[in-house]
Structure 1
Amino acid sequence: MLDRTKDISVAAQAWLDDFERMLGRPDPATLDRLFLADSFWRDVLALSWNLQTIAGRETIAQALAALAAKATPSNFKIAPNRAPPRWVSRAGANNIEAIFTFETAIGRGSGIIRLIPDSADGDGLKAWTLLTALDELKGFEEQLGMLRPRGQAYSRDFRGPNWLDLRSASRDYATRDPAVLVVGGGQAGLAIAARLKQLQVDALIVDREMRIGDNWRKRYHALTLHNQVQVNHLPYMPFPPNWPTYIPKDKLANWFEAYVDAMELNFWTGTEFEGGAYDETRGRWTVSLRRADGSRQTMHPRHVIMATGVSGIANMPDIPTLANFRGTLVHSSRYEDGENWTGKRAIVIGTGNSGHDIAQDLYSSGAEVTLVQRSPTLVTNIEPSAQLAYATYNEGTLEDNDLVAASMPTPLAKKIHVMLTEQSKALDQELLDGLSRVGFKLDFGEAGTGWQFKYLTRGGGYYFNVGCSNLIVEGKIGLRQFSDIEGFVAEGARMKDGSTIAADLIVLSTGYKPQDYLVRKLFGDAIADRVGPIWGFGDGLELRNMYARTGQPGLWFIAGSLAQCRINSKYLALQIKAIEEGILGREVSTP
């Protein structure tokens, strides 16, 4: 076994030196000696111009040999001013984890190597996981630090337009079209627009809400984020150090406004994207925008980025007899405040985060609430259990932690989340036992992979308990199964046992339609079929059609948590910049 007192920096650099030497004369038979049999390589644009994960020593060696000749990677060095090489435990395996830098023919990158002694080969250090990620394009670096912008807008020109004049002209688009149209002004839209701004790619965000941040501001009254502040920063501009651990929705919404102003992002509120058609010959879109005054404007961007979230259209399920109900019926996306329902009776259908939070908000406002469960739901206490997945963000730098997050291949991430789910179940055993006693149906994700993979595959199906589960266990919020409802009547829900749950309000916390539905609506069947499924993994190891070129040139997708958008917006922006500069083709290449 490797002596742990040995200088692991020397050992990690020695592996990188061998790796670089073998890439210089790429031969699969030689390269595979550097990897464990059960190993993974995730390349994020650096060698392949794709987001791809390759599993298995022989397959990795063949792919590296094929790609290295063109990309010419070199100068692999342990990264200075980053976390030094160290022993860590990932997915239950002890390994040396080292952050490194490197170059290719067109850019500079960073990566992570995880090394494990191979007992089958004299305990020589072999790669268990390898990440190679592109950070910047040579000659097109971000305008940061020593490269701060010094153009006309920032000069002392006493006779010409000042900064505000130029900002107003930039936002108006009176005489030009943006290179990129970003549809949606939430965290996804802001993150990608900010990245493009630093790469000097002209981008316009459009959002149908009337005020920046309204996609958070107009959600239900009690909403706060369910993960902690240190995980949720937007690119370039971290939250102030005095911010609360869990950010309230209105505080986040106001930050979005400040962010747009500070980062000088072009943003049109009150503007609905009505769809578009792509001109293959000219390589541009013709899109229709409807402004707040009802007027329509046509634009011709070269790229359209859908930043509307994992899904943007409320799912209103076709529930037979629901039309019989004569009270108020709303989808959770339209629910605002329980204070309007004090002393009234409410049924909330759906047991994800929104359903539980709305039920608790109604109860706290003095309403009589029944929560109706449609399918088994994962429940975990918000602290400490739900935060276990973010443990790495409690130490080290945001930059290092984001790279660690990007480096973990999906199969190992699943293994990690199985372990975290088992840990959570042990921590939450008393609560889970109580829920089971009152008839709440629990599950823990496919193959026990927990809430994170529920989110990555279906966008929901879990609840971070902030008190509603306790109210259910105590009988203060009623619980019924949807399968026990015979039908809906004017006064509420008629149960199969003959009883009626009376209601003045029914809230459908039934989620949202998938992005595929929105693409088909906005772009038509041909483009939707060309793109295919969006989000989830299918048979692959990467999220489908996210953050990368799709089957439709010029159409991109970004979605997810604030952390996902912060991390992946960087890679999406680099691809668009490379296309704009003629470095990368619009069509998806075969790995």
Structure 2
Amino acid sequence: MLDKTDDISLQVECWLAQFEHALTDAGDLTLLFHPDSFWRDVLALSWTIKTLNGVDAILRELPGDARSARPIGFAIAPNRAPPRRVTRAGICAIEAIINFETALGRCSGIIRLIGDAAADNRLKAWTLLTALDELKGFEEQVGAMRPRGDSYSRDFRGPNWLDQREASAAYADRDPTVLVVGAGQAGLAIAARLTQLKVDTLIVERWPRIGDNWRRRYHALTLHNQVHVNHLPYMPFPPNWPVYIPKDKLANWFEAYVDAMELNAWTGIELESGSYDEAQGRWTVVLRRVDGTTRTLHPRHIVMATGVSGIPNLPDIPSLKNFSGQVLHASQYDDGENWKGRRALVIGTGNSGHDIAQDLHSSGAEVTLVQRSATLVTNIEPSAQLAYANYGDGTLEDNDLIATSMPLALARRSHQMLTEQSRQLDQVLLDGLTRIGFKLDFGEDSTGWQFKYLTRGGGYYFNVGCSDLLVEGAIRLAQFSDIESFVAEGVRIRNGETIKADLIVLATGYKGQQHLVRKLFGDDVADRVGPIWGFGDAQELRNMFTRTAQPGLWFIAGSLAQCRIYSKYLALQIKAIEEGLLPRATD
């Protein structure tokens, strides 16, 4: 019996032995899974990213997936965090990192065991993660697999390293296998993963320099989460970097990363259109340079790495045309110095709206922040960092696997608990905001800021001082619902007051990726793919990091941590398709 010893490692080993026996010899899995259990598979057994909840649902799919994948060798992973007792989503459990193999790959995972009160407190699996790490015979070209670059095998009359790099990036006589659209953290992460798997990959970026997607944002911007969470694959940030990374420092790192990781990238060039040839299994894409000239390529895969959203959302405000001053979307805003001594309205109360309002105020402008809808507000420290508490201890590799192992339902439960903790920590600030009429919310079912991000890409603010300025009255607050109309000199409020302005900044967010898909690839492709980002009926982000209904079209987006984690799994799928191990699209 699993519960007859206090030795945690022995209990885990016993469960793993019984689990492997049940999978390989058609044993009884029902004794091994808690009634309220979760299995998340990330390519290891099913070649999909999926989560199943409940022992009945797990037993309907796990045996069949196991017969196809043929997993063996389940064991506690050496050189990783040892089995330990933890609390996840409010539940005490034994947690262990495991290794195993399948017919095609080497895998890792996490098992969490809890007692089943209905079975004499027998230890059973509460959560199980099975994740593919590498394909046998197609390992990444890193570490022991790195290229040699032998001194004695050089061709002194042939091209040197630089010649080879320039020829590789020119694509004069070939097409890339993969075209990555966008050179932010998503594009760089997936391009680096694919390059290490020897998949020919080209990044195209519309801005003149790598990193401009951060470099060109407003002057005072820094990341809102801490440095130890935000590394890119293979190259962690130096240990002397600041806790909160400035935008220009990150932008310069992106540029250096492309060079150091030998990624092929074209800048100042934009994807204009694309069409897919089913018979040939490849795309025809037209790329347009800033000078108007074009280049046509035929990649087999396109990875859209343009962010959770890429097209500015400009709300239809009929009377806005009456305003005689300057109107900017937040994406166009740079610096408040030009507005010193002048008046500004910032419409929108997410991170960008608050930060721009604070930047304008710091530059000496008279600022009014206009709230359109209820907004979650949390102090950047410690409240906003609670979600990353695990990253304060242990290795990045272990913490990424732990993050991957949390099924949606338990992640929601965890964030509900964190949101309540944040409310208590921030009570003084929240009371002050309520007092001035700021409309607060805490996410759907009080799941907090991270689920706002995962479902809508915004709707929250990490307070770095703007909320305090609002409470003090240094920045004025107005409600959009109180605006009667925009007029030449600003806005007229329903009580007859006019709030004067020289500048209006629309911090109104962005449209979802499906709008860009429709623009670039047409209605048929957009309709075939369907919604992107957010959660549908399944317990995974829609169409992210995995095959879609459109062959050869992939999506990656999210924070640096999300892109670091899931770029590995997306790259493994593309590599498997290229090697004939996996069909090109979902059924």
TM-score (norm. length: structure 1): 0.98
- Conservation of the 8 A alpha-carbon contact between 2:350 and 2:458: yes
Q: 2-side partners of 1:317 and 1:123: how far apart? A: 57
Aligned to 1:12: 12
Aligned to 1:186: 184
Does 2:3 match 1:21? no
- Conservation of the 8 A alpha-carbon contact between 2:312 and 2:331: yes
- Conservation of the 8 A alpha-carbon contact between 1:32 and 1:60: no
**What is the CA deviation profile of residues 188-240 of structure 1, one whole-angstrom value per residue up to 9, with x for unaligned ones?**
00000000010000000001000110000000000000000000000000000
Q: CA deviation at 1:112?
A: 0.1
Opposite residue 251 of structure 1, the aligned amino acid is: K
Q: CA deviation at 1:31?
A: 1.0
Match 1:105 to one of 97, 100, 103? 103
Q: CA deviation at 1:58?
A: 1.2
Match 1:315 to one of 309, 313, 318? 313
The correspondence of residues 282-297 of structure 1 with structure 2, limited to 5 A, is: 282-297=280-295
The correspondence of residues 265-414 of structure 1 with structure 2, limited to 5 A, is: 265-414=263-412
Opposite residue 9 of structure 2, the aligned amino acid is: S
Secondary structure of 2:358's aligned partner: helix
Q: CA deviation at 1:129?
A: 0.3
**What is the CA deviation profile of residues 240-292 of structure 1, one whole-angstrom value per residue up to 9, with x for unaligned ones?**
00000000000000000000000000000000001200000000000000013
Secondary structure of 2:316's aligned partner: coil
Opposite residue 302 of structure 2, the aligned amino acid is: V
**What is the CA deviation profile of residues 10-29 of structure 1, one whole-angstrom value per residue up to 9, with x for unaligned ones?**
100110110000000236xx
The correspondence of residues 29-428 of structure 1 with structure 2, limited to 5 A, is: 30-150=28-148, 155-428=153-426
Q: CA deviation at 1:3?
A: 7.3
Opposite residue 245 of structure 1, the aligned amino acid is: V
RMSD: 1.3
Secondary structure of 1:433's aligned partner: helix
Aligned to 2:551: 553
Q: CA deviation at 1:155?
A: 5.0
**What is the CA deviation profile of residues 280-318 of structure 1, one whole-angstrom value per residue up to 9, with x for unaligned ones?**
000000000001321101000000000000011100111
- Conservation of the 8 A alpha-carbon contact between 1:229 and 1:245: yes
- Conservation of the 8 A alpha-carbon contact between 2:2 and 2:14: no
Secondary structure of 1:321's aligned partner: helix
Q: 1:155 to 1:461 in 2, by over 3 A?
A: farther
Opposite residue 97 of structure 1, the aligned amino acid is: E
Opposite residue 148 of structure 2, the aligned amino acid is: R
**What is the CA deviation profile of residues 110-139 of structure 1, one whole-angstrom value per residue up to 9, with x for unaligned ones?**
000000011211221100000000000000
- Conservation of the 8 A alpha-carbon contact between 2:3 and 2:11: no
Q: 2-side partners of 1:483 and 1:65: how far apart? A: 56
**What is the CA deviation profile of residues 517-549 of structure 1, one whole-angstrom value per residue up to 9, with x for unaligned ones?**
111111000000000000000121000000000
Opposite residue 348 of structure 1, the aligned amino acid is: V
- Conservation of the 8 A alpha-carbon contact between 1:43 and 1:52: yes
Secondary structure of 2:309's aligned partner: coil
Opposite residue 12 of structure 1, the aligned amino acid is: V
Aligned to 1:522: 520
Q: 2-side partners of 1:54 and 1:303: how far apart? A: 29
Q: 2-side partners of 1:116 and 1:572: how far apart? A: 32
Match 1:574 to one of 560, 572, 576? 572
Secondary structure of 2:434's aligned partner: helix
Q: 2-side partners of 1:190 and 1:414: how far apart? A: 29
Secondary structure of 1:301's aligned partner: coil
**What is the CA deviation profile of residues 150-184 of structure 1, one whole-angstrom value per residue up to 9, with x for unaligned ones?**
36999522111000000000000000000000000
Q: 1:211 to 1:152 in 2, by over 3 A?
A: farther
Does 2:527 match 1:532? no
Q: 2-side partners of 1:549 and 1:457: how far apart? A: 20
Q: 1:405 to 1:284 in 2, by over 3 A?
A: same
Q: 1:3 to 1:50 in 2, by over 3 A?
A: closer
Aligned to 1:510: 508
Q: 2-side partners of 1:436 and 1:426: how far apart? A: 15
Q: CA deviation at 1:587?
A: 2.2
Q: 1-side partners of 2:428 and 2:234: how far apart? A: 42
Q: CA deviation at 1:412?
A: 0.2
Q: 2-side partners of 1:513 and 1:430: how far apart? A: 34
Seq. identity, %: 74
Q: 1-side partners of 2:151 and 2:366: how far apart? A: 58
Secondary structure of 1:472's aligned partner: helix
Q: 1:292 to 1:426 in 2, by over 3 A?
A: same
Q: 2-side partners of 1:550 and 1:104: how far apart? A: 24
Q: 1-side partners of 2:161 and 2:218: how far apart? A: 38
Q: 1:21 to 1:2 in 2, by over 3 A?
A: closer
- Conservation of the 8 A alpha-carbon contact between 1:363 and 1:369: yes
Q: 2-side partners of 1:440 and 1:224: how far apart? A: 25
Structure 2 gap segments, 5+ residues each = none
Q: 2-side partners of 1:272 and 1:2: how far apart? A: 58
Q: 1:4 to 1:375 in 2, by over 3 A?
A: farther
Q: 2-side partners of 1:272 and 1:526: how far apart? A: 22
Q: 1-side partners of 2:226 and 2:351: how far apart? A: 16
Q: 1:4 to 1:359 in 2, by over 3 A?
A: farther
Moved more, 292-301 or 18-27: 18-27
Match 2:489 to one of 479, 488, 491? 491
Opposite residue 456 of structure 1, the aligned amino acid is: L
**What is the CA deviation profile of residues 20-49 of structure 1, one whole-angstrom value per residue up to 9, with x for unaligned ones?**
00000236xx11211010110000000000
Q: 1:5 to 1:380 in 2, by over 3 A?
A: farther
- Conservation of the 8 A alpha-carbon contact between 1:492 and 1:501: yes
Q: 2-side partners of 1:438 and 1:113: how far apart? A: 48
- Conservation of the 8 A alpha-carbon contact between 2:5 and 2:11: no
Q: CA deviation at 1:561?
A: 0.2
Q: 2-side partners of 1:563 and 1:21: how far apart? A: 36
For these two proteins, the number of residue pairs brought into alignment is 587
Q: 1:222 to 1:583 in 2, by over 3 A?
A: same
Q: 2-side partners of 1:212 and 1:254: how far apart? A: 8
Q: 1-side partners of 2:522 and 2:30: how far apart? A: 46
The correspondence of residues 424-439 of structure 1 with structure 2, limited to 5 A, is: 424-439=422-437
Structure 1 gap segments, 5+ residues each = none
Opposite residue 253 of structure 1, the aligned amino acid is: A
Secondary structure of 1:108's aligned partner: strand
- Conservation of the 8 A alpha-carbon contact between 2:2 and 2:15: no
Secondary structure of 1:312's aligned partner: strand
